[in-house]
Structure 1
Amino acid sequence: MSTGHRKRATIRDVALAAGVSVSTASNALNGQGRTNSETRDRVKRIAEEIGFRPNALARGLLSRRSHSIGVITNDTYGRLTLPMTAGVSEALVDHGVSVFLCATNNDPRLAQLHLEALLDKQVDGIIFTATRLDHTPHVDLSSLPMPVVYAFAEGPANSVSFVPDDSQGARLAVEHLISLGYRRILHITGPEDFVAVRRRATAYRGCLDAMGEKSEVMFGAWGEEWGHEAVHRILSRPEPQPDAIFCGSDETARGVIDALRDHGLSVPSDIAVVGFDNWHVVAAQTRPALTTIDMGLKELGRKAGLAMLDLTQGKPVEFGIKAIGCSLVIRKSCGAV
């Protein structure tokens, strides 16, 4: 009597159908040995046709790899980490590598528990990401028995780190405003103790200095509330008001736009606004839609994943901090057509 369940195909079934030995079939599927390309392609095609899936545990024992990596992050809401993790997965999925995402909530005890769980799973490597470039991990990653890659975080000198090029992104924003004819450009941004904030502010000042224009940076807490407060301050002053505002985040930019509207000013007719992040749920829904800087988080994650893949395969990877270029996303808030 049939149970309706198809018998699981084995490596012996593949070898028999391909007319090769079991060892040849195994080498062809694992990319080992000296199997010629014609045989390798035939074995892989037949394995797919009969539905053969290699046993992950056995494959790991043979290769001494678990074909999995861990991502440790303090980004509770995933605004930065989720697009980066999507990029990591995109780089690794075709190589049969799985990704475990562990959020620490900035809790050292939880971070240690996640790390121990990943070590118990014998992951091949760990990618550490954070909500700010200069965030220090709550656990010691310096002496682990596997490679560690940093994404949106700056690791030690003997590691590989991928970060957005904040200076280049800020220059894109300011140079775009200058190209549209704006000259009195104000920069409203986040806390000065963030390294990314300082880099963007320095690049902003450099652009205006090169034009012989005055620069002014207003530092404050991240978020819409600070955008409202900053606008109230500048509109209370007697000196000429800015004709454009470059914001250090999309949330701050939305607060700025709402506050300008509350004061009877139109964006971009009276004052143009540019943000930083391209957080789509904010930027696309702001009225008018927000011109902003995209940090390329998915591409950053993809490069981190590729670096991890090379490290786990014993390939050479250059240590150091690698800055990934940002891009300008033009919407209506800057006044460009």
Structure 2
Amino acid sequence: MRDQGGGLRVTIRDVANAVGVSTATVSKVLNATGRVSEETRKAVLDAAKRLDFRPNAMARALQSSRSSSVGLLTDDTYGRFSLPLMAGVTEGLIAHGMSVFLCTIDGPPELGATHLDALLQKRVDGLIISGRRVDRLPDIDLSGVPVPIVYALSQGPEHGVTLAPDEKQGARLAVTHLIEIGRRRIAHVTGPERFRVVRERAASWRETLAAHGLASDMAVLNGDWSQRWGHTAVAELFDGRPEAEWPDAVFCGNDQIGHGLVDALRERGIAVPGQVAVIGFDNWHVLAEDSRPPLSSIDMNLPALGREVGLTLMRMIAGEHQAEGTTRLPCTLVRRASTIGPVG
């Protein structure tokens, strides 16, 4: 980052590296909070002076925060999405001396209310609300909450600030990759149609095929988010069709479906990716890398999303206005052997 004079701005991390301490320790010294030895305090202040460290306006505003902490409330009990998101949130905030309290609210409404009350009693400076679905607001009453709120992987209110992965862009990446490796009959096997992400990805599948002059005579196959459904879907795709009409690629709505689908193809003696290339969505490493062959997938970059969520909330705490509505962050393609063959 450059300062107003055009030079590179010295960051709190630079000061921490110069002294050999954590950014949290530097923040404690600069904000006169927490316990730090006199020797460390002097070393930090000397380094800050030597490096001409000047906190930006955001950091100065945060110095007056009540607790240097934020709360993350989620109904994602399994942590499939909330844990990588929180890792990114923590990374984005730790350099500014902010800590994060994680509370799960998957249960009766009273549970969410209890956790919310506890966080407000701790005088958190802001809240992050996260969920398992981007088309559903977690069951918690946030009316009258006196601190800024950012929504992530969850439906936010009309005038709220929400960050989410760009589902349509991610689906476009998947289908474009299949087209670029020479596939032309690309099927789509996905989750329940009631999910907005399912409808968005399916729309992007159709649009991307059409943009490349391709059409699919196969309907979107909807099932549940499971390996069992991926396994079952193979029968619907291949049984009763002459081999010339088989799909030569399948775009799966998540990695669980993709994993099950690859298993069923292998059992039938259909080569992946030789005869049929398969790509999933989510880049859930435990499934994608355990698949035989390993599954190409679309990564929603949840840690990066979390970092941006944390920094957005920090700017709101500092009094900076943030655009209302949903901001979508790009997904990335992770190539593995299920579309490009053995690697190495």
TM-score bracket relative to the smaller structure? 0.7 to 0.9
Gaps of 5+ in 2: 1-27, 33-40, 49-62
Amino acid at match of 1:274: I
Amino acid at match of 1:285: D
Equivalent in the alignment of 1:93 = 94
Q: Secondary structure at the match of 1:306?
A: helix
For the 8 Å contact 1:154–1:162, the answer to whether it is kept is no
Q: Do structure 1's residue 268 and structure 2's residue 273 form an aligned pair?
A: yes
Q: Which amino acid is the alignment partner of residue 220 of structure 1? A: G
Alignment of 1:155-234 (within 5 A): 155-210=156-211, 211-214=213-216, 215-234=218-237
Pick closer, same or farther for the CA change 1:178–1:106 going to 2, 3 Å: farther
Query: Residue 90 of structure 2 aligns to which amino acid in structure 1?
Result: S
Cα deviations by residue, 1:124-164 (Å, 9 ceiling, x for unpaired): 11101111101222111242100110111131122111100
Tell me the matched-pair count.
Answer: 290
Letter in 1 for 2:74: T
Q: Secondary structure at the match of 2:95?
A: helix
| CA apart distance, 1:209 | 2.0
Match of 1:237 in 2: 240
SS at the partner of 1:95? coil
Aligned equivalents of 2:314, 2:287: Cα separation in 1: 34
CA distances 1:248-281 after superposition (whole Å, capped 9, x unpaired) = 0001100000111111212111211000000111
- Give the partner amino acid of 1:199: E
CA distance in 1, matches of 2:255, 2:47: 51
Deviation at 1:303? Answer: 0.5
CA RMSD in angstroms, aligned pairs only: 2.2
| SS of residue paired to 2:197 | helix
With the length of structure 1 as denominator, give the TM-score of the two structures.
Answer: 0.81
Tell whether the 8 Å contact from 2:130 to 2:152 is kept in structure 1 after alignment: yes
2:102 counterpart letter in structure 1: L
Matches of 2:65 and 2:298 in 1, distance apart?
Answer: 42
How far does residue 42 in structure 1 lie from its aligned partner after superposition?
6.9
For 1:4-23, what per-residue CA distance to the aligned partner results, in whole angstroms no more than 9, with x for missing partners? xxxxxxxxxxxxxxxxxxxx
- The equivalent of 2:22 in structure 1 is none
Q: Out of 280, 285, 289, which is 2:294 matched to?
A: 289
**Using a 3 Å threshold, how does the CA distance of structure 1 residues 46 and 270 change in structure 2: closer, same or farther?**
closer
Taking every aligned residue pair, what percent have the same amino acid on both sides?
A: 48
CA shift in 2, pair 1:236/1:46, >3 Å: closer
Inter-partner Cα distance in structure 2 for 1:138 and 1:291: 34
CA distance in 2, matches of 1:28, 1:297: 31
Q: Distance in 2 between matches of 1:232 and 1:42?
A: 68
In structure 2, give the amino acid aligned to 1:223.
Answer: S
Aligned to 2:35: none
Distance 1:43 1:183, change over 3 A: closer
Larger radius of gyration: 1
